[in-house]
Chains A and B, each alone.
Chain A
């Protein structure tokens, strides 16, 4: 019973895809394929691989991730918030402690620093999830478990009309296997 429910949850009926999926073993072939496909105007292709490949990234002309900016903003908010909390908590009920200055900065730096790391870390996570479209609840392309092992997949979404041309292109770049989803 439980298995059934879980099975339903974990293996939802695959949605209908429109495009071509090519599978490669050799990295240099896949890289060439990406370059060629992009040259043919298919800029919206996706590559699936067990490890990131610099060649393919290069061919995809990917820029650096924007996560860093999210993290930086989070860090800034964190350090400000940390100091603000310190100031507010002292100002709201000023208690003299150990003959020290009320608003003594050294301890605030510790709390500000830790808050900065905490909020930056959380922002980093959120940034990664948001930008990487994680958690991915809906499949964007037909999936193949071999992408977690040793195969590289290139998915080109397209209409049925374009499919044949793309299939040709992929096979021309030594694709091991080409699946057409029309």
Chain B
């Protein structure tokens, strides 16, 4: 081959360039030199062209609609399905990471049978025969334990269980039992309502992490952003009532640092004020309601909750001011204690008293949790297992050995079952207890469906053929094959797919008017499902439970167990993206930590990262401390999701499982597991602990990177001195800092005289166009001669800090799109994170009362006057004619000067070879490398990389437009981050197009530029966060 010469020359030059023989180790290998054609060309696959498959996300019970992007038969990216009612195009970090579940290198490779303490691989036929025999012999003493299934899969499992004489139990740790129980009691409807944040003008959350794990986080985030966009007339106010400020709470204007477990009192106190002062709408039940809450006077509440009486009244009046348009939410895991149901009931009462039920609390599209076992039922099941009720047990899609506390004795009882079969695709804790593992195919490679909310039937379509290295089968196929082997017959189809199609006949009857089934099926598969507008079920007050004042537990610390935005209940812990994604509260990665108040830490004599021992009556763990002002001094918080003892290389032996600290306890009314309410002793630990912070400093040091604009300034209009001109900086108190001297007009800042009809070259356009310019007119950046004259676009971004809630979905989207390597905890701690977009968290005011936490999505700003460009000696970074700050990896020598000169520190350097399979630092072990985007170069050791504004997508979009011989449409090209954002905080587009959305936002009244005084003229414009005044002075 002609290239042999080239390679030897390259090696030679390498040696010459270095001058030492050591470099010879880095010789380039000749590329793979065989090409394999398709045997038969698939109709729908053309190499080099992406295909999109609509499907359903199965990472949590919400089931958002997704679109999977596939290239050359490999799923490479997941995005939200914009047409789907659940998610509406957004997708959270967990959903996007399901790709790494599919390509998990630790997936079970084939059916396995336990052989002592090890596993023996067997064939499917052997496995089916063996298990079928046991199933036949069990004769009804069989258990099928699954996670939440809905739609056809649930029907198949239930029918199968019925036919085989087995019991089908569905179990989810986050089962909304308290919400269902409370709604059953107060409204007579055991359902999880839809919270219409978009209709609300004021929200009070009683510990519900509705932007993280509670309810439908993605849809709720969008609604919440819509609410927060309103600011006239005091609208958009959000109050977080919780002992530990969650990520959701960080978005609040006001943090009411209530005593742990006493949230209920505040809700009732607010209701009491509203009802007694008659601030709400006229209600027939007013008397009954008032009598239920009469004991909860502001004074009584103040004693129970640590919230001042006048604050109780103020909050009640604020809430009532927006009667019918306000919304109180409760029911998350962070408040699931002994009085969880009572709390939800109290909040229901509050909502009802303010007339919100039916306007912001809707039962039109409740979560479908039908058939889910309650914790009490689960407990009973465990008892039966121990009692020998089952000879054979099948487990699929749930991992109780990890996700239930030890006191439930699941593991022991499960161990007594004679023959245990796991249908899990990964070797999780429960699978590790089993005798046989028959791996199920991942949701992205198998057919299925879900009906996760009323009126929505979503289809789950395989985006690719099952991965060849994993000999797995869809669960349905396994069940059917087992039934055949055990001579069990039923009404199901020959395969799970046939069965699915057969069951969708019902939907065809409902939606398929005038279409054949095949046509209906094809269209439904393409759309991702069918849905209808669901009418709201109106409810009336059904009666309140007897509210008791929360038990006052004194001494020690309240243990707050928090659900994880990254891992949910722990099921995401085996995905490196989610481990590497910083927790947006502490900005820590890859482990566990306990959040304690700095004053508590001082008393204990610990600092950030020092070990502390948390001891409850159930056990003790040693974790690094994270000093967090967003937690009460009498509380300690520990996150769920880590501390796996199995589950693959990324999850195993990282951090601790908070469940180990839970003493026996349930919510009295619903029987739900009490995550909260434990009291813990704290002591200084002795071990050396790793606290891996991706961002250590959370104070802005008055640098005004993430800016706010007070509502008063905004209301003064776009013309007042407060309006969104960045020449004057807003201080925390809403005052105006004096003009920065560096942007002050001076000798060389005469107004720029431009000839009539002057059009600046596309690349130099920035929304940064102040009236004065700190440059002499002669020094306008030149057009790159004829090289840039065809440029019509200036790609730019507008980021609305008011909409960003710090969910970090964009970060994972960027990892997926741009082949960003995961580097592990030690390197992150050193400051060697590779992410192209990060979300900086600034805690400007934290500690109860007025709350000011700001999230700043930070990426390459694509400056028109980029400091990085002029320092690169080899033109590896330069400005494209369309305004992008280009980075040419293969030209990069790695002087790293660009990063040193980047004021935004948006550039990451490949310190090691993350892309070389032979190196220990390889970041994409097979088959994780299948996920790599073929349109983006995988960077090698020693080169700089950074956000490209997804230039591959820009080129693809421009190419599509040229293929179709048309102009580009605004919004046609979306970057990975802007596409994924559940709140649409990121807008991407062409700044040179005056009609574009990004133009409108970039020149809007809240615009500003980060570090504007450096005159980098960024292409990324930020919109200031709207700050609402609050009189709460804090008392945590």
Q: Do chains A and B touch in the complex (CB under 8 A)?
A: yes
A97 to B879, Cβ gap below 8 A? yes
Determine if A96 and B875 form an interchain contact, defined as CB atoms under 8 angstroms apart: no
Interface on chain B toward A: helix, strand, loop, or mixed SS?
Answer: mixed
Of the residues B785, B788, B869, B1017, contact of A97 by C-beta under 8 Å: B869
A99-B764, A99-B879 known; 8 new pairs, CB 8 Å cut-off, are A95-B875, A97-B870, A97-B879, A98-B865, A99-B863, A99-B1017, A102-B782, A102-B785
Closest to B779 in A: A101
Q: For chain A residues 79-103, which have a beta carbon within 8 Å of chain B?
A: 93-102
Residues of chain B whose beta carbon lies under 8 Å from any beta carbon of chain A = 763-764, 779, 781-782, 784-785, 787-788, 863-870, 875, 878-879, 881, 1017
Residues of A within 8 A of B763 (CB): 96
Residues of chain A lying within 8 A (CB to CB) of residue B879: 95-99
- CB-CB under 8 A from A101, the residues of chain B are 779, 781-782
Residues of A within 8 A of B878 (CB): 95-97
Size of the A side of the interface (Cβ < 8 Å), in residues, is 10
Counting residue pairs across A and B whose Cβ atoms lie within 8 Å, the total is 47
Q: Are A95 and B784 in contact (CB under 8 A)?
A: yes
Contacts of B779 in A (CB 8 A): 101
CA distance A100 to B1017 in the complex (A): 12
Q: Which residues of A contact B (CB under 8 A)?
A: 93-102
Chain A residues in 8 Å Cβ range of B881: 96
Q: What are the residues of chain B within 8 A of A97 when measuring CB–CB?
A: 869-870, 875, 878-879
The CA-CA distance from A102 to B867 in the complex, in Å, is: 15
* Chain A residue nearest in CB terms to B778: A101
11 contacts between A and B (CB under 8 A): A96-B784, A96-B869, A97-B869, A97-B875, A98-B870, A98-B879, A99-B764, A99-B863, A100-B870, A101-B779, A101-B782
- The secondary structure that dominates the A interface is loop
Closest residue to B781 on the A side, CB-wise? Answer: A99
What is the CB-to-nearest-CB distance from B991 to chain A, in angstroms, rounded to a whole number? 15
Contact B782 A98 (CB under 8 A): no
In the complex, A182 Cα to B869 Cα: how many Å?
A: 74
Residue from A93, A95, A98, A100 having most chain B Cβ neighbours under 10 A: A98
- Report chain B residues within 8 Å CB of A94: 784-785, 787
Contact B867 A98 (CB under 8 A): yes
Question: In the complex, how many angstroms separate the beta carbon of B854 from the nearest chain A beta carbon?
Answer: 29
A99: B residues at CB distance < 8 A = 764, 781, 863-866, 879, 1017
Q: How far is the CB of B761 from chain A (nearest CB, A)?
A: 8
Question: In the assembled complex, which residues on chain B have CB atoms less than 8 Å from the CB atom of A96?
Answer: 763-764, 781-782, 784, 788, 869, 878-879, 881
- Residue on A nearest B877 in the bound complex, by CB: A97
What residue in chain B is nearest A100 (Cβ atoms)? B870
Which residue of chain A has the shortest Cβ distance to B864 in the bound complex?
A99
Taking CB atoms, residues of chain A closer than 8 Å to B866 are 98-99
- Separation of A97 and B872 alpha carbons in the complex (Å): 9
What's the Cα separation between A40 and B869 when bound, in Å? 73
Bound Cα distance from A93 to B869, whole angstroms: 15
- Name the A residues within 8 Å of B782 (CB-CB): 96, 101-102
A100 touches B781 (CB 8 A): yes
Q: How far is the CB of A17 from chain B (nearest CB, A)?
A: 47
**In the docked arrangement, what's the CA distance between A99 and B763, Å?**
9
| A-chain residues with CB within 8 Å of residue B787 when the two chains form the complex | 93-94
**Min C-beta distance of B150 to chain A, whole Å:** 55
Q: How far is the CA of A171 from the CA of B868 in the complex (A)?
A: 77
Task: Flag if B784 contacts A102 (CB, 8 Å).
Answer: yes
CB distance from B807 to the nearest CB of A (A): 34
Which of A93, A96, A101, A102 is most buried by chain B, counting CB atoms within 10 A of its CB? A96
Give CA–CA (A4, B866) in the complex, Å: 66
CA distance A96 to B875 in the complex (A): 10
Which residues of chain B come closer than 8 Å to A95, judged between CB atoms?
A: 784, 875, 878-879
In the assembled complex, the Cα of A128 lies from the Cα of B508 at a distance in Å of 98
Task: Give the residues in chain B near A93, CB-CB below 8 Å.
Answer: 787
Q: How far does the alpha carbon of A164 sit from the alpha carbon of B558 in the complex, in Å?
A: 120
Closest CB of chain B to A150's CB: distance in Å?
A: 45
A107 to chain B, nearest CB (A): 9
What 5 A-B pairs come out closest when comparing CB atoms?
Answer: A99-B865, A98-B870, A99-B781, A96-B879, A98-B869
Q: In whole angstroms, what is the CA distance A95 to B865 when docked?
A: 13
CA distance A97 to B878 in the complex (A): 5
Nearest chain-B residue to A103 (Cβ)?
A: B782
Most buried by A among B782, B864, B866, B875: B782
A94–B782 Cα gap in the complex (Å)? 10
Closest Cβ of chain B: how far from A55's Cβ, in Å?
51
Alpha-carbon gap, A40 to B779, bound state (A): 72
- Which chain A residues border B1017 with CB–CB below 8 Å? 99
Interface centre among A94, A97, A101 (most CB of B within 10 A): A97
A47 to chain B, nearest CB (A): 46
Chain B residues contacting A102 (CB-CB under 8 Å) are: 782, 784-785
Q: Which residue of B lies closest to A102 (CB)?
A: B782
Shortest Cβ distance from residue B1014 to the other chain A in the assembled complex, whole angstroms? 12
Bound Cα distance A100, B866 (Å): 9
Give the complex CA separation of A100 and B881 in angstroms.
14
Chain B's nearest CB lies how many Å from the CB of A44?
50
What CA separation (Å) do A97 and B785 show in the bound complex? Answer: 13
A98 to B1017, CA, bound (A): 10
| Minimum CB–CB distance for B841 against chain A, Å | 30
Residues in A whose Cβ lies below 8 Å from that of B764 = 96, 99
Complex: A48 Cα to B72 Cα, angstroms: 84
Please measure, in the bound complex, the distance between the C-alpha atom of A93 and the C-alpha atom of B891, giving whole angstroms.
Answer: 15
Chain B residues with CB under 8 Å of A98's CB are 865-870, 879
* A101 vs B783: C-alpha distance when bound (angstroms): 9
Cβ contacts under 8 Å, B875 to chain A: 95, 97
Q: How far is the CB of B331 from chain A (nearest CB, A)?
A: 53
